[in-house]
Amino acid sequence: MQAPSLGGVSVPRGNGRTVVRLRQGSSLNDFADKIDANPASLVTVLFHLGEMATATQSLDEDTFGTLAAELGYVIEMVSAEEEDRELLGSFDIDLDAELEAEGDDDLVARPPVVTVMGHVDHGKTKLLDAIRSTDVVAGEAGGITQHIGAYQVHAMHEGVERALTFIDTPGHEAFTAMRARGAQVTDIAILVVAADDGVMPQTIEALNHAQSANVPIVVAVNKVDREGANPAKIRQQLTEYNLVAEEYGGDTMFVDISALKRTGIDELLEAVLLTADAALDMRANPDKDARGVAIEANLDKGRGAVATVLVQSGTLHVGDAIVAGTAHGRVRAMLDEHGETLTEAGPARPVQVLGLSSVPSAGDTFLVAPDERTARQIAEKRESAERAALLAKRRKRISLEDFTQALQQGKVETLNLVLKGDVSGAVEALEDALLKIDVGEEVDLRVIHRGVGAITQNDVNLATVDNAIIIGFNVKLAPRVEELADREGVDVRFYSVIYQAIDDVEAALKGMLKPEYEEVQLGSAEVREVFRSSKFGNIAGSIVRSGEIRRNTKARVLRKGKLVADNLTIESLKRFKDDATEVREGYECGIGLGSYNDLQVEDVIETFEMREKPRK
Ligand code: GDP
């Protein structure tokens, strides 16, 4: 049913109960798709409801709710995770109910899962090597020989032998990539800071990531063997970032180590266990089908798809049917970090799994399915959901233009930026100038990362996680990164004049950078004859003179070159007896302008739409 609406546009209406399900991050384009409407008319309706949005901008539930209520629909927002949960539900797999049903008796202590992060060259790799070699039971197993993406070591803690699982990819890139896909694997982060160098940009970045993921941090003050090492200075520097050492009355454990000389490693592991025991409930039910996350995967010439997975709960067995992301199969064999085969793997155990049909991505969740057929069907359904989501309009996270609006609605308080420039001087100058903008009380400007060189995949991943905008000064996107930014909806802006970048950011912060609309003419038609109809109002028998005439678009009427009526809508459009959605140049058609009846022969009907004006 079409009915006039706010702003004089027509939109198909619901009956007040018609449910429209939208994925989180959807835009007016997506909504328009679902109700078979013209996105431009939804922009207009929303505008008349007092909100300005572009057709591609991602909107929140409230905004959709207001719009939907106006049009007779009920909105249900679903996240990708919820969609997947429903998909699993259709196979009788309910992970939430499973967790809820678990009582204290079912839960058994499990090792903590630890990630090592910090600035480049501060010793992350060396530390992971050192930890690997301190394993108190590694001797018997022959030492850790395989790099499978994660390993488990054992340490003595208060007289008890305890296991710890380490993610064996140093740096926060892996951490960020996994979090960007919604997977939280890490229980505890070790932040490595070189005592002879101090807190550096990536130190701050790493701690920001850990803190925003609510992951407790243990600080390893490394390279204390070096001349010029100043461990006290590190403690002092980090207090600025809410990491206050226990010695100074805080609750963060700092341990002085030398990854090279392998000193302080036992104390570090002890601190990790103490922190984990104090902050976290590290228990899981081992007596059920395994659930977990894929840590890394590759295609091996001889063995096919090889994936390292971390079991998070349950126990994985050889022979289990599993699905990891969109890969599925049966566990043909399992190997641990010593290259030994295993028949089963319990909570917090990383294992290499052979037998998957394809290579899952890092951060994909995996689970054991009742049988191989179910595993395959889940994988196939996920694959088609992914394809559909990709085809649906790319989602926009936040752009400088939306920021103002989000700010006014109290939805954001911080503008996060990633700065990249061609030379470090320019980046510093830009950062200095940006941080000097007087932004008032209610908004914060945070530069979450800065660097020299092209905008890389990691920059985009960071921006994805922290909803940041990337500013490139005299730099380009690295190859293939544009596609990623596009897919993730990250706003990347390029500048070659510092002041322009500053002006735009300042305008966004001060609420002045609204999207600009411009009128775009779509077509014009000349009235040849006017048919009077008591039922439909007057119909203008016309010939399209330029462009095309489309139903539901805005229109105005000109008589001898003068405007006689504005703000009309092409309410009906016919080719002979049939309804048409558009009629092209040179063709005849019947145009109805709703209640506007004052048409005369030789009048010109012009149609147009409002489009967002691209910024330079
Ligand atoms: P990453 O980039 O954080 O993984 O750092 P690496 O582990 O690769 O270490 C960077 C450099 O610092 C290497 O040359 C290491 O040998 C050196 N290094 C790491 N830890 C120590 C340490 O405790 N003492 C000293 N003197 N050098 C270290």
Question: What's 585's domain CATH number?
Answer: 2.40.30.10
Residues 463 and 554 in one domain: no
Residues 427 and 552 in one domain: no
Residues 508 and 524 in one domain: no
Phi then psi dihedrals of residue 453, to 5 deg:
115, 180
Distance 260 CA to ligand 1 centre (A): 7
Q: Is 92 among the domain residues?
A: no
Write down which residue in 260, 284, 308 finishes a domain: 284
Write out the residue range of the structural domain in which residue 15 sits. 2-78
What's 157's domain CATH number? 3.40.50.300
Phi then psi dihedrals of residue 107, to 5 deg:
-90, 135
Minimum CA distance residue for ligand 1 atom 10 = 121
Q: 370-386 as b/e, with b when 16 or more CB fall inside 10 Å?
A: eeeebbbbbbebbeebe
Residues 443 and 456 in one domain: yes
Residues 193 and 146 in one domain: yes
Which ligand 1 atom is nearest residue 257's CA? 23
pTM, whole model, 2 decimals? 0.61
Quote the pLDDT of residue 11: 83
Residues 145 and 233 in one domain: yes
- 3-class SS of residue 567: strand
Distance 258 CA to ligand 1 centre (A): 9
What's 507's domain CATH number? 3.40.50.10050
Write down which residue in 284, 304, 328 finishes a domain: 284
Residues 10 and 150 in one domain: no
Residues 452 and 507 in one domain: yes
Helices 481-488 and 457-466 pack at an angle, to 10 degrees, of 10
Q: What residues form DSSP beta bridges with 583?
A: 549
Which ligand 1 atom is nearest residue 120's CA? 2
Distance 499 CA to ligand 1 centre (A): 40
How many structural domains is the chain composed of? 4
Question: Could you tell me the two tokens for 41?
Answer: 């008319």
Quote the pLDDT of residue 38: 85
Quote the pLDDT of residue 4: 45
Phi then psi dihedrals of residue 484, to 5 deg:
-65, -45
Mutational pocket test of ligand 1: of 115, 120, 121, the residue with most ligand atoms within 8 Å of the beta carbon:
121
* Lookup result for tokens 């006017």: 530
Assess contact for 378 and 87: CB atoms under 8 A.
yes
CA 137 remoteness from chain centre: 40
Residue partners of 9: CB distance under 8 A and separation at least 6: 38, 40, 41, 44, 45, 552, 554, 569
pLDDT digits (tens, 9 = 90+) for 259-300: 999 999 999 999 999 999 999 999 999 999 999 999 888 888
Q: Would you call 391 exposed, middle or buried from its count of C-beta atoms within 10 A (0-12, 13-18, 19+)? A: exposed
* Lookup result for tokens 């063709």: 587
Instruction: Please name the amino acid found at residue 233.
Output: K
Residues 498 and 532 in one domain: no
Q: Is 101 among the domain residues?
A: no
Q: Which residues line ligand 1 (CB under 6 A)?
A: 118, 120-126, 170, 222-223, 225-226, 258-260
Residues 22 and 116 in one domain: no
Write down which residue in 78, 101, 132 finishes a domain: 78
pLDDT means per 10 residues in the chain (616 residues)? 54 86 81 86 85 78 89 87 86 89 92 93 93 69 72 91 88 66 82 95 87 92 95 95 92 96 96 95 94 88 90 97 95 93 96 92 89 94 74 53 68 81 82 78 77 86 83 86 83 87 82 64 92 80 92 91 89 88 91 88 90 58
Q: Would you call 162 exposed, middle or buried from its count of C-beta atoms within 10 A (0-12, 13-18, 19+)? A: buried
pLDDT digits (tens, 9 = 90+) for 323-355: 999 999 999 999 999 889 999 999 999 999 999
Residues 272 and 128 in one domain: yes
Phi then psi dihedrals of residue 80, to 5 deg:
-60, -35
Distance 305 CA to ligand 1 centre (A): 33
Distance 490 CA to ligand 1 centre (A): 34
Q: Is 25 among the domain residues?
A: yes
- Alpha helix (H) residue ranges in 336-468: 372-391, 400-408, 424-435, 457-466
Assess contact for 311 and 345: CB atoms under 8 A.
yes
